[in-house]
Amino acid sequence: MNSRTNRRRFLGQSAALTAGVGYFSGTSLAADTKPQSALNALSAGCIGVGGKGGSDTSHIGEQGVAIAALCDVDRDTLTKKGREFPDAKQFDDFREMLDQMGDKIDIVTCSTPDHTHAAACVKAMNMGKHIYCQKPMTWSIREARLMRETAEKTGVITQMGNQGSSEDGLREAVEVIQSGAIGDVTEVHIWSNRPVWPQGGGRPAGEDPVPASLNWEAWIGPAPMRPFKEGAYHSFNWRGWVDFGTGALGDMACHTTNMPVRALKLWDPVAVTAVKNPGIVEGEQYPGSSSLMFEFPERDGLPACKFYWYDGGNLPSDEVLSQTPESFQKRIAEQREGGRKTSGALILGSKGAVFSPDDYGAKYYLLPESDFADYQPPEQTIARIPHKAGGDQRHKWEFVQTCKGLYEPGTFSGFDIAGRLTETILVGNLAMRAGEGQRIEWNARDLTSPNVESVNQFVGREYRSGWELG
């Protein structure tokens, strides 16, 4: 296969970095490699510095931001990261960090379990701090609305950590769909290989001694207190627990739905139904698998659209999957034989389809391939990040340069967009609270379901004393 044919088949894989000219204020494309002036010098306090938080902290530091404070509930993790940033003051409670370091930091990164995002970030934003927060932006729908409103009120720079947003391929795919290349879209199918942590069980019996290195009080944060159980929650398996995580949907949909949601303006569903729903187990854990259907009305001249979500090994119908590339259909066949689970996003239009096999929307196919053999992408309307690095690092570069006032396009995944994306996604988790096949109508303006009032109690929650939003 020659390079030209490959370009037609696999659009977006290596889109050129040609849009940097004119995007900066008072700097050049190479400005991020030069010593920073005192005017543009920034410092950060990083909350959650293990796992993904470890790379988030390092990447912010790589952009010339001084890491002034490190916070993690696990002191072993804190000590380890402290070796990389020996001048940073260490904390195991983000409230103490913000109270003591508030006048010494400009940026706060938050890479904690979902249930503490809002408590940390709302407090920091009200102190005037720029925020980089991992996905999903919040644990609850109401928190997502509050985070978006707080960002707008305070005027701080924000970025949610869905790094696919910084990929040229995702931005090009949005342009392609919005150009009308595949016609009117009325169906979107997205499936995920998650969960890769325990789901579908109840709370473990008994309790274990809290490790001397762990601040369990701070780890629980605003959630209801419960006994520590080795391996059940900290440090990885929290995603499956409804008190702490948002399940497979919350974990990956901010990545996998990012491209089609942006392209098709899939904000504010009017209804969601759990097509397959084993249900929340004992009120504690999300089910091991689910299939959901979101309904969106006509919006801004776009036709009504249904968005289908599948996780835990569930897949779209054979009819839908037959529209993916033949090479990918082989992977599907292997999955059905017990092989590795796949992820994918298929956007079906009246003139064709867009398919992405990439969790981050960074690569895409236009289908049928024969219909788009000579297709050329439309004129660029979305800025491309000129910084050359991995997608995750480019995401941090965009955030930091915007904080410095040196990058005029601004963050592509700020809370104005990320908050709406998070709200949309988390409505799906309300369907887990209802019975299989129960259609839940949704009023996005008021954040309530008018027909299944029992789910409204899960739109937000009461916080434990001392951990309220503020």
Query: Which among 51, 67, 98, 71 has a CA at the least distance from the CA of 400?
Result: 67
Query: Which among 138, 252, 259 has a CA at the least distance from the CA of 194?
Result: 252
361, two tokens: 């929307």
Q: Which residues contact 394 (CB under 8 A, 6 or more apart)?
A: 163, 166, 167, 385, 387
Q: Are 427 and 253 in contact (CB under 8 A)?
A: no
275, two tokens: 């097509």
Report CA Rg, the chain: 22
Give buried/exposed letters for 280-293 (b at 16+ CB in 10 A, else e).
bbeeebbbbbbbbb
DSSP strand pairing (107-110 vs 43-47):
parallel
DSSP strand pairing (185-191 vs 107-110):
unpaired
28, two tokens: 């050049």
- What is the identity of the amino acid at 208? D
What pLDDT was estimated at residue 30?
35
Give buried/exposed letters for 50-70 (b at 16+ CB in 10 A, else e).
beebbbbbbbbbebbbbbbbb
Kind and range of the H or E element at 176?
helix 168-178
> Which domains are assigned to the chain?
20-164 (3.40.50.720), 165-200+237-382+415-458 (3.30.360.10)
Q: Are 163 and 393 in contact (CB under 8 A)?
A: no
Q: Which residues contact 1 (CB under 8 A, 6 or more apart)?
A: 9
For residues 318 and 440, what is the distance between their CA atoms, to the nearest angstrom? Answer: 27
Task: Return the percent helix, strand and coil in the chain, to nearest 5.
Answer: 35, 15, 45
Place of tokens 């020659």: 2
Kind and range of the H or E element at 186?
strand 185-191
Peptide bond into 35 cis (omega under 30): no
What pLDDT was estimated at residue 435?
86
Q: Are 220 and 226 in contact (CB under 8 A)?
A: yes
| Dihedral sign of CA atoms 233, 413, 289, 439 in order | positive
For residues 129 and 148, what is the distance between their CA atoms, to the nearest angstrom? Answer: 14
For residues 36 and 32, what is the distance between their CA atoms, to the nearest angstrom? Answer: 8
| Dihedral sign of CA atoms 42, 137, 423, 180 in order | positive
For residues 448 and 22, what is the distance between their CA atoms, to the nearest angstrom? Answer: 44
What pLDDT was estimated at residue 28?
34
262, two tokens: 């942006």
Alpha helices in 180-246 (DSSP H): 216-220
Q: Which residues contact 92 (CB under 8 A, 6 or more apart)?
A: 71, 72, 73, 74, 75, 78, 215, 218
What pLDDT was estimated at residue 457?
97
Give buried/exposed letters for 238-257 (b at 16+ CB in 10 A, else e).
bbbbbbbbbbbbbbbbbbbb
How do the pLDDT tens digits run along the chain, 470 residues long? 333 333 333 454 433 333 333 344 433 333 344 445 555 689 999 999 999 999 999 999 999 999 999 999 999 999 999 999 999 999 999 999 999 999 999 999 999 999 999 999 999 999 999 999 999 999 999 999 999 999 999 999 999 999 999 999 999 999 999 999 999 999 999 999 999 999 999 999 999 999 999 999 999 999 999 999 999 999 999 999 999 999 999 999 999 999 999 999 999 999 999 999 999 999 999 999 999 999 999 999 999 999 999 999 999 999 999 999 999 999 999 999 999 999 999 999 999 999 999 899 999 999 999 999 999 999 999 999 999 999 999 999 999 999 999 999 999 999 999 999 999 999 999 999 998 999 999 999 999 999 999 999 999 999 999 999 97
Kind and range of the H or E element at 367?
strand 365-367
Terminal-residue alpha carbon distance, the chain: 58
